[in-house]
Amino acid sequence: MDRQELDKKIVILMPVYNDWDSAKELIVKIDSCIRNTTFQFSLLIVNDGSTVPFPDNLVDSSLDSIMNIHLLYLRRNLGHQRAIAVALTYIFQSYPCKAIIVMDADGEDRPEDILSLVNLCSENNFSKIIFAERSRRIENLFFIFFYRCYQALHRILTGYSIRVGNFSIIPFIFLSPLVVSSDLWNHYAASVFRLKIPYSMRPTSRGKRISGTSKMSFVSLVIHGLSAISVYGEIVGTRVLFAAFAINALLFVMLILIFFIRFFTVFAVPGWATYSSGILIIIFLQILATTIGFLFFILNGRNSIAFIPLRDYSFFIQKTDHIFSSDENP
């Protein structure tokens, strides 16, 4: 493949777990939305250990914009983030292209936004990752409440705000640092921010799920959120340490205040100073012990051998199938 042809090739990466009905309809919508462009689109569907068999009629033979469709089988269900990590590394090793679109298969990432992401990335000479920034969410009040709480917690612990999901376009050149980052195994978007890869955002609206219900339970969503925070483990640890030292400093000031009231004023109640100082000393020692233990945990984590996608991704790939080519259409 020559350079000119390679510069036109865009791969759409789409993990699927049992959501074949949505994926089937989404493929048709994608094919319709990517017409009238000079870029050539291929689709890489990642079968994330689905328990529902892959349907024979997944691909409509009337597709005329998508050039090729490949199906990547994983040996087990890894979850969206790790499926994306394996697939991005597979593309880096075996599927050269100009850029990769990462999107979900349920329809909430709208096919109508694909070309706008590609065009914005092209305007920036493919020098930035472009994320779809959610300007409007279609969710119930229960989800919105806990999501706002999570956003606040994430901001406090990491110093970064959450505004994006998986939906994005990645220039191929940025796969090189991503595939050797252990953070990619936990959370794709957070690993981009952690690596300080240049990025921009484009406001988009969240679409409606095509069929069925989300496979993500409340517990799964919490784990997903914690995975994003874990990418900033050292930052979180440092902030927690500062907070612990600040609390202990406050406790020490309170102990001095109790001592001053007890011996230099007439306001002390009998027994009050003993009980109060005893409780504060216990809290002080507990926080100090927890802080020291947490500090050693962080330092030990820096010395451990982490998962490296480029080195370890192949263990999770079972096989790949080429299931569609526009050249085969009559």
Q: Is the pLDDT of residue 329 over 60?
A: no
Question: pLDDT-derived band of residue 17, with 50, 70 and 90 as boundaries?
Answer: very high
CA 41/CA 34 separation, integer angstroms: 8
| pLDDT of amino acid 76 | 95
User: Is the per-residue pLDDT at 55 higher than 90?
Assistant: no
Question: Quick one: average pLDDT of 3-18?
Answer: 89
The residues that bridge with 71 in the sheet, in sequence order, are: 45, 321
What is the mean pLDDT of the segment spanning 3-20? 89
Comparing 73-82, 182-191, 213-222, 276-285, the range with the smallest average pLDDT is 213-222
Judged against a pLDDT cut of 90, whether residue 30 lies above it is answered with yes
Give me the mean pLDDT over the 129-144 stretch. 74
**Is residue 138's pLDDT more than 60?**
no
Would the pLDDT of 218 be above 70?
A: no
DSSP 294-314: HHHHHHHHHHSPPP-HHHHGG
Whole-angstrom distance, CA of residue 200 vs CA of residue 207: 21
- The predicted pLDDT at position 215 comes to 59
pLDDT for the residue 170: 97
* Distance, CA of 153 to CA of 162 (rounded, Å): 10
Output DSSP code: residue 186.
Answer: T
Order the strands of the 66-74 sheet from edge to edge: 199-205, 129-136, 164-171, 99-102, 9-16, 40-47, 66-74, 317-325
- The pLDDT assigned to 108 comes to 87
Residue 137: is its pLDDT beyond 90?
no
Which one has a higher pLDDT value, 77 or 236? Answer: 77
Residue range 100-126, pLDDT digits in tens: 999 999 888 999 999 999 999 999 999
Smallest CA-to-CA distance from 46 within 9, 80, 93, 92 is with 80
What percent of the chain clears pLDDT 70, i.e. is strictly above it? 88
Residue 174 — very low, low, confident or very high, per pLDDT cuts 50/70/90? very high
Q: Which residue has the higher pLDDT, 322 or 60?
A: 322
- Among 25-39, 86-100, 269-283, where is mean pLDDT lowest? 269-283
What is the C-alpha separation between 189 and 130, in angstroms, rounded?
11
Give the pLDDT band of residue 213 (cuts 50, 70, 90).
Answer: low
| Average pLDDT value for the chain | 85
Whether the pLDDT of residue 310 is over 80: the answer is yes
Helix ranges (H only) for 59-196 are: 80-94, 114-123, 141-158, 175-178, 188-194
Strands 317-325 and 66-74, sheet pairing:
antiparallel
**pLDDT of res. 234:** 74
Most trustworthy range by pLDDT among 2-6, 226-230, 243-247? 243-247
